[in-house]
Amino acid sequence: MAEATRRRVPDGSAYGRPEQHADYELTQVGPRTPCGELMRRYWQPVGVSAQVTSRPQYVRILGEDLILFRDKSGRPGLLYPRCMHRGTTLFYGKVTDEGIACCYHGWLFDVEGRCLRQPCEPDGGRNLDVARQPWYPVEERYGLVFAYMGPPEKKPVLPRFDILENFAPDEEIRAYMGAFGATGDTSMPIAPYSWLHMNDNVMDPFHVYVLHSTFTGVQFANQFAVMPRVDFFTTDAGVCYSAKRVLDDGREYDRISSWIMPNIMSVPNPIDINQEKSNMITWSLPVDDSHFTMATASRVPKGMQEGLFANGGFRLNGKLWHEMSIEEHQDTPGDYEAQAGQGPVSLHTEEHLAGSDRGIIMQRRILKQQIQIVAEGGDPAGVAFDPANALVKIRSGNYYVAHA
Ligand code: FES
Ligand SMILES: [Fe+2]
């Protein structure tokens, strides 16, 4: 990284600068890529349960196009879209109690890809048991449908998160998917850049002070307009930051945020710092190398309005983010502008990581270590094969620091 920088001409002219490129080890997520293999060892959300119906839908995740549906018995299914017979898409299929029937010649597949019927063949198909439409296992939890796209013999237990367990009667789960404005402004279901931009952002407490608080105005809580004292620390399977600030009233408060292998974050409430424990888990989900989306499951008061913090709660002259002009975006950039501004896939060889990037350096180091472990046949950090070990404890929250 530094090497490419050093080769620049001494007067800093843009002329003759070396070619730059992404850190492909972390940005390529398709099948058979190192990071793609790592990602495939974890359950990844692919849909919101309530939106997975008998109407087949395309989902694109980790560079693979798949068909997601729910059969009329209520089971969700995730199949390779090209029918194994002669390759038309199951997008036009008809969902039944038993599975999905291809529109072309009616081959019927269940949610695990078993071929149940071939109507044009003698006896409805004599060799059904040798036919199998490629499929992935799915499970539902926290209002999301999760898929496991890795090697079947390595399938871990779908994890639980302590902050999403044991609901009080007046609480409920809320799940949504979308890159930006997912809470009420669904103008951008998928964002046109790498998952790593958002993943970096999670362990970057300093941009909260600049981008969200002092550059143009307050986009989240007022209290973030104070430079924090920051520590980073590793956890069992991730990194946390602690950002301490002394508030106007003299109290000190500590904002703890978490990143969990390989693409999970738990961020404390960014609008109301009096909400102590974080109430949400979010996946920064690679759609492919240069697109991502997010899936969030959050614990909310029953009946809470949608739009808890559309575009980080930020409106300009009453406008939602997608209603703003280019000039208004220039005048009031937020996460989308900063991250999309890094390009479809950032050029990591020309970065100049500094002391404030320590959390990002830690994250990337862990990701690379775990990519290596998977490449050597091991199991990556944070996967559990016994339900007794599948509870992830989350530290994230807004905490007042007690001084003796
Ligand atoms: S292409 Fe699907 S049944 Fe023929
Ligand atoms: Fe941000």
Strands of 129-247, DSSP E: 135-136, 138-141, 144-147, 160-161, 171-177, 229-235, 238-246
Q: Are residues 125 and 168 in the same domain?
A: no
Query: Which one of 139, 169, 199 terminates a domain?
Result: 139
Query: Which one of 110, 139, 168 terminates a domain?
Result: 139
pLDDT confidence of residue 188: 79
Nearest atom within ligand 1 for CA of residue 88 = 1
Percent of the chain beyond pLDDT 70?
93
pLDDT confidence of residue 138: 98
pLDDT confidence of residue 88: 98
Q: Are residues 383 and 349 in the same domain?
A: yes
Range of the domain at 189: 156-401
pLDDT confidence of residue 267: 96
Instruction: Measure the CA–CA gap between 22 and 343, rounded to whole angstroms.
Output: 10
Instruction: Measure the CA–CA gap between 28 and 22, rounded to whole angstroms.
Output: 9
The torsion angles phi and psi of 75, rounded to 5 degrees, stand at -90, 130
Mutate to test the pocket of ligand 1, among 79, 82, 86, 120 (most ligand atoms within 8 A of CB): 86
Number of structural domains the chain divides into: 2
Cis amide leading into 262 (omega within 30): yes
Question: What CATH number has the domain bearing residue 295?
Answer: 3.90.380
Question: Going by DSSP bridges, is the β-strand pair 76-79/94-95 parallel, antiparallel, or unpaired?
Answer: unpaired
Q: Are residues 186 and 279 in the same domain?
A: yes
Q: Are residues 120 and 170 in the same domain?
A: no
DSSP bridge partners of 62: none
Q: How far is CA 183 from the centre of its chain?
A: 15
- Helices 195-202 + 358-375 axis angle, to 10: 130
Cβ atoms 213, 225 nearer than 8 A: yes
Q: How far is CA 272 from the centre of its chain?
A: 23
Domain contains 397: yes
pLDDT digits (tens, 9 = 90+) for 101-155: 999 999 999 999 999 999 999 999 998 998 899 999 999 999 999 999 999 999 9
Contacts of 265 (CB under 8 A, 6+ apart): 199, 202, 257, 258, 259, 281, 282, 283, 284
pLDDT digits (tens, 9 = 90+) for 257-315: 999 999 999 999 988 899 999 999 999 999 999 999 999 999 998 988 765 543 444 56
pLDDT confidence of residue 316: 67
Q: Which residues surround ligand 2, an ion (CB under 5 A)?
A: 335
Report pTM.
0.94
Report the candidate in 207, 181, 205, 182 with the shortest Cα–Cα distance to residue 315. 181
Question: Going by DSSP bridges, is the β-strand pair 138-141/94-95 parallel, antiparallel, or unpaired?
Answer: unpaired
Percent of the chain beyond pLDDT 90?
80
Tell how far the Cα of 28 is from the centroid of ligand 2, in angstroms.
Answer: 23
Whether 43 lines ligand 1, by a CB cut-off of 6 Å, is no
For ligand 1, atom 4: residue with the closest CA: 105
Strands of 94-186, DSSP E: 94-95, 100-101, 108-109, 115-117, 135-136, 138-141, 144-147, 160-161, 171-177
Whether 115 lines ligand 1, by a CB cut-off of 6 Å, is no
Domain contains 129: yes
Query: Which one of 80, 104, 139 terminates a domain?
Result: 139
Domain contains 30: no
* pLDDT at residue 252 is higher than 90: yes
* pLDDT at residue 356 is higher than 90: yes
Report the candidate in 55, 54, 70, 44 with the shortest Cα–Cα distance to residue 144. 44
pLDDT digits (tens, 9 = 90+) for 176-201: 998 875 444 556 789 999 999 999 99
pLDDT digits (tens, 9 = 90+) for 37-93: 999 999 999 999 999 999 999 999 999 999 999 999 999 999 999 999 999 999 999
